[in-house]
Amino acid sequence: MKTNKAIFLDRDGTINIDKEYLYKIEDFEFEPKADEALKILYDLGYILIVVTNQSGVARGYYKENDVETLHINLSKLLEKKGIIISKYYYCPHHPSKGIGKYKSDCACRKPNPGMLLKGIEEFDIDPSLSYMVGDKKSDVEAGLNAGVKSVFLGKEKDIKIDNYSNNISIFNSLYDFAISLKNKS
């Protein structure tokens, strides 16, 4: 029986300010209070897993190694604050804008659930105890497709989803979501 709980996190627009095709640590800026939110979630016992579409790789703007280097540096920043990201999954593909091997309609690109399903398997995660948090419709749909609760960061009018369900919550920020979970525990 799976007993671990996780927070799957989109990166750009959720953890950090969304700057188009971010891959350099010097361009990285946390969303307001996002680091505090990650600490709250980590302290609540959630496994933190980042799942991010990185079509900049597919388009040839930067390399997979650049994404991995950014994630290593982000982990170092967070570890100084007592926060561990257990895994970073990223999708380097794009179905129409990709170049060469990266032009692919894959199972990992959100809204497909591939990255979340890998995390669920690798970390023995109970989807019913877990969340997907992001600022785009594709994040919410990936969570629903993987069987976890989805959290949309933004305004309700900004998410247009057909099968809106009780498995979707809306918050203004990652911090607001973290405080809500903390208050429930």
Number of neighbouring beta carbons within 10 Å of residue 137: 17
Contact 59, 20 (CB under 8 A): no
Q: Annotated catalytic, 12?
A: yes
Phi, psi for residue 86 in degrees, rounded to 5: -70, -30
Q: Which two tokens mark 104?
A: 């692919």
Q: Output the DSSP codes for 34-56.
A: HHHHHHHHHHTTPEEEEEEE-HH
Catalytic residue ranges: 10, 12
